[in-house]
Amino acid sequence: MVQTASVGGARPKATVRDDKGQFWLVKPAIATDAGNIPQLEHAGQQWGAASGLDFATTVFHPSMAGLGAVRVLRFDRSGDRRHMCVSAASLLQAEYPDDLSQAERWSYPRLADELRLVGAPPQDRIELFGRMVFNAVCGNDDDHVRNHAIVYRAGERRWRLAPAFDVVPNPVETPGRLHMQLCLGRFDISRETALVDSHRFGFSGKAEAAGYLDALLGRITAGFERIAHWLDPAPRRALHERLTHNVAVLMGGDTRTGKR
């Protein structure tokens, strides 16, 4: 894993091919991890899918020591066939992580604009909105511009938002901000920031976006019950608490009681 070329990213990883000829990325635990990152990544990916969002398929491989690896299906391959991909860093012409002066380009609404410009269908912008909300709820504040991508679907002859990948709930704390802006100039997680630029994701108005947001929060809450078994007791409790807190924040209610 150290000596061969990697697809990139911060963590060590290797590509493997299964007996059906499909390519997967394998991402193992490393000694400096603040928690069981492969388990958290698998839970995050499963949770997104259980919430009705388009998340890359993952398989969790536990190991004897309690840490393991997560295996992620590659969306840039179908057997030997390669699919062109472009990262959000390229789409937004934004460097990560070096150039803080470009932080205004790290933005979900801007990425939604780019999806429209490359000809992706309207549902991809709604999907992006859903991922922004999901990242806010699960506390994935590593949602930077190299963790979003588009992929060219030759069968459709158009670019599509790639499945979500590298969605890992923060193992240490519940973040109050995301890495990309939710609305113009603002990174903080709130109902207001989630909704104020909703027209850029293709919603007809704030009412439609609010209805979608509330329904999605219900799906994310129900989804957690279905995936919680993947988590050890301590992270399960922590994530359940985080879910309750963030759903209340995004419902625009009282964060202490969880009531609206």
Ligand X SMILES: Nc1ncnc2c1ncn2[C@@H]1O[C@H](COP(=O)(O)OP(=O)(O)O)[C@@H](O)[C@H]1O
Residues near ligand X, by CB under 6 A: 7-11, 25, 56, 72-76, 87, 146-147, 149, 165-166
- Interface with Mg ion, residue 170, by CB under 5 A: no
- Interface with Mg ion, residue 9, by CB under 5 A: yes
DSSP conformation class of 109? H
Q: Which does 129 bind (CB under 5 to 8 A by kind): Mg ion, ligand X, none?
A: none
Q: Which does 74 bind (CB under 5 to 8 A by kind): ligand X, Mg ion, none?
A: ligand X
- Subset of 138-157 contacting Mg ion (CB under 5 A): 147
CA distance 75 to 98: 27
Residue from 53, 166, 248, 250 in contact with Mg ion (CB under 5 A): 166
Q: Which residues pair with 85 in a beta bridge?
A: 151
The sheet with strand 23-28 has its strands ordered as 14-17, 23-28, 69-73, 58-61
Q: How far is the CB of 149 from ligand X (least distance, A)?
A: 6
Q: Could you write out the DSSP letters of every residue in 57-84?
A: -EEEE--TTS--EEEEE-TTEETTEE--
Q: Which does 72 bind (CB under 5 to 8 A by kind): Mg ion, ligand X, none?
A: ligand X
Q: Which does 25 bind (CB under 5 to 8 A by kind): ligand X, Mg ion, none?
A: ligand X
Which residues are within 8 A (CB) of 82 and not within 5 positions of it... i.e. 6 or more apart?
A: 76
Q: Which does 110 bind (CB under 5 to 8 A by kind): ligand X, Mg ion, none?
A: none
Q: How far is the CB of 122 from ligand X (least distance, A)?
A: 24
- Per the listing, tokens 């590593």 go with 142
Q: How far is CA 233 from CA 63, 66, 78, 221, 222, in A?
A: 18, 13, 37, 18, 18
Residue nearest to Mg ion (CB): 166
Name the site residues for Mg ion (rule: CB under 5 A): 9, 147, 166
